[in-house]
Structure 1
Amino acid sequence: MTQQPIVELRNITKAYPGVVAMDGVSIDFRPGEVHAVIGENGAGKSTMMHVLAGEVQPNSGSILVDGEETSFPTPLASQAQGIRIVFQELSLCQNLTVGENVLLGPFGAQRALSLLNRNRAARVAAGTLAELGLADLHTDTPLASLTVAQQQLVEIARAISQKVRVLVLDEPNSALSPRESQRLFDIVRRLRDQGVTVIYVSHHLEEVLGLADRISVMRDGHMITSFDNTPEVTVDRLVTHMVGRKVDKAEQYSISAQAGDARDEIALEVKNMTVPGAIRDLDFKLSRGEILGVAGLPDSGKDMLADAIFGLVPRDGAVEIGGILLQPGKPSHSLAAGISYIPADRRGAGALLSMTVAENTVSSALGAFARLGFLRRRPIRDTSAEYARKLDTRIASLGQKVETLSGGNQQKVILGRGLVTGPRLLILHEPTRGIDVGAKAEIYSILKSLAADGMAILMISSELPEVMLHSSRVLVLANGRLSGQLTAADITEEAIMSLATKHEREAAA
């Protein structure tokens, strides 16, 4: 006998100007299951999560909880039913400590003027962190000092610290190392065994097959199919459902970046670069026409590298772009020297969400579109249209707000903004985080084309297949130092992980 769903959506439709995000979508979630929801960017997954969160109101359809029809007019109404959502784009308070962020959940809803028992609060926060395997992370640690991967685990800790019946995870391991991902999977299974419903939204199809009890596939705002996860279900089958056709693995992963004809010309040189607490005595060179990948564990220093080169954090040592010595701590100097930087936090630091596609595209080079202090709208429109066409950005219009786009199309808009300046060096940190297989292939193709035209590209990523298959050369960092570099056939997952953990193995020997 099939269990009564804890939450059910029936014939949900949500339309925005120019696009129908959800078109008559029906889906149910049962108690004590891991239910994966997959689909390409723009499939409607994000809209469905926002409906569940009470942040978006559907145009039509019904929401049922425990078989009773209800509605979520506000996020608080959703939370009152025990629904907690951890979005890929983090919602933590950077000015608070780790413990304070965890406690925003269970203690944030206390009555006004009530007193907070700080000792009890600290025990709750420490206990929740310990459950996530983060017992060594002190509750007094400033959140801003953590890596994106560590912050993502803190976000999950905040969610599970509350009385949760349904936990929705949006690309939860997009910035986690394999070890941290395995820890997350163990937590998901434990919550499932405790009767919690886990809705798992991910583009990592192998992990979906290893974790989910049921799988639902969305495409173009429609629910395509739902089925039990059995041994007969394969990645190829999932991809076929997602894109509506068979996709050859070669089509997904064969785009390999190679150095262009200008590879003997040095575009970037880093000498003895040190960032306190993160990077020590780092030296490397990057040539024109080359895609240089950077890999390493979350505490390796790789996540601080781009900020240090671009001048966002204090550093020692020398950074030269095209022979020009960059002044530390001055991003404006880096921009003027020809560096464009696409950060990992797409929504927080990358896109201007409330602004239009056109405004985002030209925002890094407004001086080129102004005359006598006034912006020239026609050149802005023409340039934005050109980059939307070049990058195949799927938009209703240039006036569409970026916050309404899928993750993959947001990333293309940010990439277009970086290219408008005509950079010598393009730095990308987690360039395809949270993007589906189709959009990833498009991004990789764009990067390959840019490298072929002579652009130097520095790609920092936590996804080993991305680094392995789309880099001319790979630097591996460990404990803030260069552990080694790999080229051509030597670039394998085993070789990267061996270098990434070399210092740990040496310390244990």
Structure 2
Amino acid sequence: MTAAPSLANIVEIAGVTKRFPGVLALDRISVGFRAGEVHAVIGENGAGKSTLMNILAGDLRPDGGKLLVDGQEVKLSSPLDSRAHGITVVYQELALCPTMSVAENIMMSDMAARSAVSLLPRDMMRRKARAALTRLGMGGLDPDTKVGRLSVAEMQLVEIAGAIRQNARVLVLDEPNSALSKRESERLFEVVRQLRAEGVTVIYVSHHLREVLDIADRVTVMRDGRTIVTMDNEGLSEDQLIRAMVGRDLGAALQWSLQAEPRPEGDDAVLKVENLEAAGLEDVSFSVRAGEILGIGGLPDSGKDALGDALFGLCARRGKVTIDGKDLRGADPLAAIRLGMSFVPADRRGSGGLLRMSVADNVVSASLPRFSLAGFVRRGAVKREARAQVARLDARISHLGQKLGTLSGGNQQKIILGRSLVTNPRVLVLHEPTRGIDVGAKAEIYSILRGIAGEGMAIVMISSEIPELIMNAERVLVLRDGRVSGDLTGQAINETAILARAMTS
């Protein structure tokens, strides 16, 4: 990794503290970001990364300590203040307007700065937007295209284009790679390296340690609201980063398919799928037995991402799906729940959790009839069940009334998983179960899934992360072009075999 071109800090956090009710989110943290470097910030969920980024963005004000830009103390009381000092944050949940064009989104800050009666000439808007896109190697993208028609990767680059249009000197990227394919990720890395070469400081927040080692000049590790260490990226390993993040050695994880007890021949399937067809899927058949974790892998366009919706009845489908021999009709999620299927979707914030509702209400939201009497919710029963699930899944919360959206990603996922378990499912379908959460929380969720599989539940794990499939699945089904291209077990579950079946015809 090449050394950063400057040793001078463009932004410095000096002894910053931030408190929320019952939580010390940041505890006198100090870290400096040099001009023209890629500086990764990593840590477990709940380490304080998001709070720090929100302070840099001007969305939160610190309770103590100082923020310095170019050596001068500043007060960032709003996002406008932050941008005025050259700091722009691109969040994991992109802040774009899908019904507006690419040019309109890129030039939005210019439009907002003009008076209500003035107009921004569209030709000039297109020209300036195209110049920003060309700088990022996206000159071929039509500025008149509606943002809602773009891929996630293209949306991300459009938001970055808007940031550099505002002459951002410090660009904060929050989990920029969480929903990108390998090819899209490589394009993003090219853009990051180009911005660094132009002198822009890139603060890169990520749970993907391999990409951190590939892209960062320096790495700061946070834990429990504190900065643990800042290291130059010279000879660092993933194991070193993990130990610094979690404060312990997680140890080498053993491959589940090599540990699982052999199954007797003829063991009856709990879930049976025959000739399933839906958007992106064609003639897919498989079965899952009690206590089995079936992994589903494939490239982004393989059809795997449509499988969970099709099984749970969130889209039209053809073919036969049965649970314990009983037919499950399509396009009826309520029927799926009643028959014993539960689904944890990939989009935790958009469709997985009820972010503005409490932890307790989220836990019982899929099972309200069980907790109601004569049309009234039995709050005592709700609290007892929520308390039991929080304890069972070791979720870190301050109280049952805490809003789900205020929890870290890993704890949000545990509560959403708890909601599924309250329905007492026979089949649990998980789509990207650990997307955007840290290695420590991942290990905890893997342990939970193995535990509930051991209780006899059939689990379908749909994942883009090959190591996740290798580590946890007893059997892996690989999809390509909407069809099953491989069914792997035991020692045959390895990265080479999965990629071969996912990529070659």
Do the structures match in fold with TM over 0.5? yes
Q: 1:128 Cα deviation (Å)?
A: 5.9
State how 1:316-465 maps to structure 2 within 5 Å.
316-465=318-467
TM-score, with structure 1 as normaliser? 0.89
State how 1:24-423 maps to structure 2 within 5 Å.
24-95=28-99, 104=108, 110-118=114-122, 121=125, 155-156=159-160, 159-160=163-164, 162-231=166-235, 233-250=236-253, 258=260, 264-276=267-279, 278-423=280-425
Question: SS of 2:365's equivalent?
Answer: helix
Q: 1:480 Cα deviation (Å)?
A: 2.4
Question: SS of 1:62's equivalent?
Answer: strand
Q: 1:117 Cα deviation (Å)?
A: 4.4
Taking the aligned partners of 2:492 and 2:466, their CA distance within structure 1 comes to 14
Q: Does structure 2 conserve the Cα–Cα contact (< 8 Å) formed by 1:260 and 1:289? A: no
Taking the aligned partners of 1:414 and 1:434, their CA distance within structure 2 comes to 14
Taking the aligned partners of 1:118 and 1:301, their CA distance within structure 2 comes to 39
1:501 maps to which of 478, 500, 503: 503
Distance 1:60 1:308, change over 3 A: same
The CA deviation string for residues 430-451 of structure 1, in whole angstroms up to 9 with x for no partner, is 1111111111111001111111
Question: SS of 2:274's equivalent?
Answer: strand
Q: Does structure 2 conserve the Cα–Cα contact (< 8 Å) formed by 1:35 and 1:215? A: yes
Taking the aligned partners of 2:448 and 2:126, their CA distance within structure 1 comes to 48
Question: SS of 1:465's equivalent?
Answer: helix
Q: 1:122 Cα deviation (Å)?
A: 5.1
Question: SS of 1:475's equivalent?
Answer: strand
TM-score, with structure 2 as normaliser? 0.90
The letter for the 2-side match of 1:204 is: H
Q: Does structure 1 conserve the Cα–Cα contact (< 8 Å) formed by 2:256 and 2:472? A: yes
Taking the aligned partners of 1:127 and 1:469, their CA distance within structure 2 comes to 45
Distance 1:264 1:143, change over 3 A: farther
The CA deviation string for residues 315-368 of structure 1, in whole angstroms up to 9 with x for no partner, is 333333333333322222222222211111111211222222111111111111
Distance 1:86 1:442, change over 3 A: same
More displaced stretch, 405-414 vs 155-164: 155-164
The two structures, once aligned, show a CA RMSD in angstroms of 2.8
Q: Give 2:489's aligned residue.
A: 487
Distance 1:126 1:428, change over 3 A: farther
The CA deviation string for residues 72-126 of structure 1, in whole angstroms up to 9 with x for no partner, is 2112222232322222234444555666655656656554344354455556666
Q: Does structure 2 conserve the Cα–Cα contact (< 8 Å) formed by 1:281 and 1:481? A: yes
Q: Give 1:507's aligned residue.
A: none
Taking the aligned partners of 1:113 and 1:36, their CA distance within structure 2 comes to 43
Unaligned runs of 5+ in 2: none
Distance 1:120 1:225, change over 3 A: same
The letter for the 2-side match of 1:191 is: L
The letter for the 2-side match of 1:48 is: L
More displaced stretch, 463-472 vs 167-176: 167-176
Taking the aligned partners of 2:125 and 2:99, their CA distance within structure 1 comes to 18
Q: Give 2:16's aligned residue.
A: 12
Q: Does structure 2 conserve the Cα–Cα contact (< 8 Å) formed by 1:258 and 1:289? A: no
Taking the aligned partners of 1:369 and 1:415, their CA distance within structure 2 comes to 18
Percentage identity across paired residues of the two chains:
54
The letter for the 2-side match of 1:379 is: A
Unaligned runs of 5+ in 1: 504-509
Q: Does structure 2 conserve the Cα–Cα contact (< 8 Å) formed by 1:44 and 1:220? A: yes
Q: Give 1:467's aligned residue.
A: 469
Q: Does structure 1 conserve the Cα–Cα contact (< 8 Å) formed by 2:308 and 2:429? A: yes
Distance 1:158 1:412, change over 3 A: farther
Taking the aligned partners of 2:319 and 2:106, their CA distance within structure 1 comes to 37
Taking the aligned partners of 2:268 and 2:164, their CA distance within structure 1 comes to 51
Q: 1:146 Cα deviation (Å)?
A: 6.3
Q: Does structure 2 conserve the Cα–Cα contact (< 8 Å) formed by 1:4 and 1:67? A: no
Taking the aligned partners of 1:65 and 1:46, their CA distance within structure 2 comes to 20
Distance 1:2 1:136, change over 3 A: closer
Q: Give 1:506's aligned residue.
A: none
Q: Does structure 2 conserve the Cα–Cα contact (< 8 Å) formed by 1:255 and 1:445? A: no
Distance 1:312 1:156, change over 3 A: farther
Taking the aligned partners of 1:321 and 1:342, their CA distance within structure 2 comes to 18
